[in-house]
């Protein structure tokens, strides 16, 4: 814990954030929760070796224990009736480079099969899923069939997921509590990141060189909410000299020039963009819109060199089909957009450079539809001082 205390009071943390990020402000009750701004995270990182897990910070996600346990058809939100068999995952990289597959809105269709087939051809370390998993939509056997569909991949790599609107599964007057099936089947390591909810958490990868924040588009995110306070505490725990890459995953995109779901991410953007900008988050991946779109580095709806690159990958293959209609003309911050099924690949090569690629399912494996090199904000002193 002494190490935690030392890092939490380091001036490096304050220097890495501007006033909009808010590290120098009161962090509310989270000192009480963590025993330090990020006591649980850092203490765990020191105690848990990389071997057998996603990274320093925790071991095999608990999702592997519950993912493949069949549930009764009417068992909305009940816990699995028996423990699942444990599956040992391949060791993840404890240092850079590291490869992430990035997908969203998978569902379980022929298009999903195609996406998973293409992802299986990519030797990735971790899969990041930006919400809308099974499209069970209250019919619980679809959670089981989804588990069987993804098992070949999800049993060999960590699948780190956040929730989408299709995971809410709340029925007025019948089932008031949302996310019960999702929380029962996809238990993410929120306790290990000092989060009070399975709906938002974070984890380290590549020995802490990459910090991934999984946010909840359908959990309260307003100022003073649990998610807001946890996010600020989590980001303030970071030392960008040791963690050059910051990635955030949401469901409803904050930037979107597709006609589908226009404005649905705006309330969350208004609430949290300053926090992410202050922490110099490098990339934000979203789903929800069933198409692909990549934006420039943006902040407050304008191109900004210290803002995050926003990318929508809601094109995993669900039964609702593609979102084909875009606003015209395209905004200047939208650099590439296309309504095709596919997935993304993020190859974090070193402390300063990462290669992002988007692959269409329609193409052969070697074909790259969109590609860009991204540099970390931690490599830009101007951004850290700004
Ligand atoms: Fe969605």
Mean pLDDT of all residues in the chain? 81
pLDDT > 90 in the chain, percent: 70
Active-site residues: which are they? 261
DSSP sequence for 159-208: EEE---GGG---BTTTB-STTHHHHHH---STGGGT-S-TTSEEEEEGGG
Q: pLDDT by residue (tens digit) across 182-204?
A: 999 999 999 999 999 999 999 99
The pLDDT assigned to 322 comes to 96
Distances (CA, A) of 45 to 93, 96, 199, 243, 350: 15, 17, 21, 13, 20
Q: How far is the CA of 28 from the centre of ligand 1 (A)?
A: 31
Task: State the pairing for strand pair 308-313/210-214.
Answer: unpaired
- Contact between 355 and 122 (Cβ < 8 Å): no
Q: How far is the CA of 169 from the centre of ligand 1 (A)?
A: 12
Task: State the pairing for strand pair 342-348/98-103.
Answer: antiparallel
Q: How far is the CA of 104 from the centre of ligand 1 (A)?
A: 9
DSSP sequence for 16-32: TS-TTT-TTS--TTHHH
pLDDT > 70 in the chain, percent: 75
Retrieve residue 266's tokens. Answer: 């705006």
List b or e across 320-348, with b for residues whose CB sees 16 or more CB atoms inside 10 angstroms. eebbeebeeeebebbbebbbbbbbbbbbb
State the CATH architecture for 2-385. 4-Layer Sandwich (3.60)
Retrieve residue 165's tokens. Answer: 């609107």
Q: How far is the CA of 165 from the centre of ligand 1 (A)?
A: 5
Q: Bridge-partner residues for 24, per DSSP? A: none
Helix axes 266-279, 226-236, angle to 10 degrees: 20
The pLDDT assigned to 291 comes to 98
The pLDDT assigned to 150 comes to 97
The residue whose two tokens read 């969203």 is 104
Q: pLDDT by residue (tens digit) across 335-381?
A: 999 999 999 999 999 999 999 999 999 988 778 999 999 999 998 98
pLDDT band at 259 (very low <50, low <70, confident <90, very high): very high
Q: How far is the CA of 41 from the centre of ligand 1 (A)?
A: 30
Nearest to 63 by CA among 201, 204, 188, 156: 188
Q: How far is the CA of 2 from the centre of ligand 1 (A)?
A: 43
């Amino acid at each position: 814990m002494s190490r935690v205390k030392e890092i939490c009071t380091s001036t490096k943390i304050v220097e890495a954030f501007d006033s909009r990020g808010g590290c120098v402000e009161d962090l509310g009750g989270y000192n009480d929760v963590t025993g330090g701004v990020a006591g649980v995270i850092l203490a765990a990182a020191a105690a848990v070796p990389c071997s057998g897990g996603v990274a320093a910070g925790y071991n095999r996600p608990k999702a592997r224990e519950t993912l493949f346990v069949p549930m009764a058809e009417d068992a909305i939100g009940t816990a699995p009736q028996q423990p699942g068999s444990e599956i040992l995952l391949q060791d993840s990289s404890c240092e850079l480079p590291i490869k992430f597959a990035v997908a969203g809105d998978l569902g379980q269709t022929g298009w999903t099969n195609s996406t998973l087939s293409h992802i299986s051809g990519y030797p990735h370390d971790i899969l990041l899923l930006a919400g809308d998993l099974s499209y069970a939509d209250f019919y619980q056997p679809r959670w089981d069939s989804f588990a069987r569909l993804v098992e070949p991949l999800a049993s060999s790599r960590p699948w780190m997921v956040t929730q989408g609107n299709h995971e809410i599964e709340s029925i007025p007057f019948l089932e008031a509590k949302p996310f019960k099936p999702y929380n029962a089947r996809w238990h993410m390591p929120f306790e290990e990141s000092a989060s009070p909810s399975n709906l938002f958490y974070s984890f380290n990868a590549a020995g802490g060189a990459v910090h991934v924040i999984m946010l909840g588009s359908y959990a309260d995110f307003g100022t003073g909410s649990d998610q807001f306070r946890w996010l600020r505490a989590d980001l303030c725990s970071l030392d960008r000299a040791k963690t050059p890459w910051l990635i955030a995953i949401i469901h409803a995109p904050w930037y979107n020039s597709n006609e589908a779901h226009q404005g649905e991410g705006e309330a969350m953007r208004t609430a949290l963009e300053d926090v992410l900008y202050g922490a110099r988050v490098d990339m934000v991946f979203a789903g929800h819109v069933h198409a692909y779109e990549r934006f420039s580095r943006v902040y407050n709806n304008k191109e900004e060199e210290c803002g995050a690159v926003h990318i929508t990958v809601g094109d995993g293959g669900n039964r609702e089909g593609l979102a084909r209609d875009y606003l015209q003309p395209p905004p200047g911050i939208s650099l590439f957009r296309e309504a095709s099924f596919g997935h993304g690949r993020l190859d974090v090569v070193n402390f300063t450079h990462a290669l992002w690629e988007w692959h269409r399912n329609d193409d052969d494996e070697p074909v790259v539809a969109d590609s860009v090199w991204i540099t970390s904000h931690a490599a830009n002193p101007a951004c850290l001082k700004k």
